[in-house]
A and B are shown apart, each in its own frame.
Chain A
Amino acid sequence: EVQVVESGGGLVQPGGSLRLSCAASGFTLSSYWINWVRQAPGKGLVWVSRIDPDGSSTIYADSVKGRFTVSRDNAKNTVYLQMNSLGAEDTAVYYCARQARDEPLECWGQGTLVTVSS
């Protein structure tokens, strides 16, 4: 079965850090872009970041640029989102979703909840 599974969420204090993982199974991760999308409680979907298949190119939303870093280990079939200097505004469910070239986000994980609070 083709799927991606997020993990690593939890409660973190303001200013803290967290690393999320997106583990792929049932397909070859190295053939796909991986996007991170977040959703604050009761709010809509917001795109956060994307990494290309070989990891040579990454892009970020302005709201996380300089604080978040996306990386991947294709040998482990896993993509990571390192989140630093977290604030309350980063509280959200974080989804990873795979994307083929010129295709939509067609395989989503179940999400992992990040709560930033003291």
Chain B
Amino acid sequence: EIVLTQSPGTLSLSPGERATLSCRASQSVINNFLAWYQQKPGQAPRLLIYGASSRATGIPDRFSGSGSGTDFTLTISRLEPEDFAVYYCQQYGSSPLTFGEGAKVEIK
């Protein structure tokens, strides 16, 4: 199984700042089938990015994804108040599907 390691575990930033989250895979993600999800307390995860760099429907362009193979990045260019949440990466290229442990973006 592919293990996904996210870093940092917590990011303390102010609104308007840039957030950069990393996701490293233990082996190459097939076809770069790597997704990013946002989850707020008491809510279901919401798909942000798929295929490493494609934004899901309705996702603002301040969210961007990059990377390939084993190293992937989610960037939020300018944090809005509603962006403070937990972010998970997930690979869906091979079974079993696996998630990273999550990264919390909190208000500084």
Number of residues from B at the complex interface, CB < 8 A: 23
Residue tally, chain A, CB below 8 Å to B:
20
* Nearest-Cβ distance from residue A111 to partner chain B, whole angstroms: 6
Residues of A within 8 A of B97 (CB): 35, 47, 50, 105
The residues of A with any CB-CB pair to B shorter than 8 Å are 35, 37, 44-47, 50, 59, 61, 95, 99, 102-106, 108-111
User: Which residue of chain A has its CB nearest to the CB of B57?
Assistant: A106
Q: Residue-by-residue, is B41-65 near A (CB-CB < 8 Å gives 1, otherwise 0)?
A: 0011111001000001000000000
Residues on B facing A (Cβ under 8 Å): 31, 33, 35, 37, 39, 43-47, 50, 56, 88, 90, 92, 95-102
25 contacting pairs across A/B (C-beta < 8 A): A37-B99, A45-B39, A45-B88, A45-B102, A47-B97, A47-B99, A50-B97, A59-B96, A61-B96, A95-B44, A102-B31, A102-B92, A103-B50, A104-B35, A104-B47, A104-B50, A104-B92, A105-B45, A105-B90, A105-B92, A105-B97, A106-B47, A106-B56, A108-B46, A110-B43
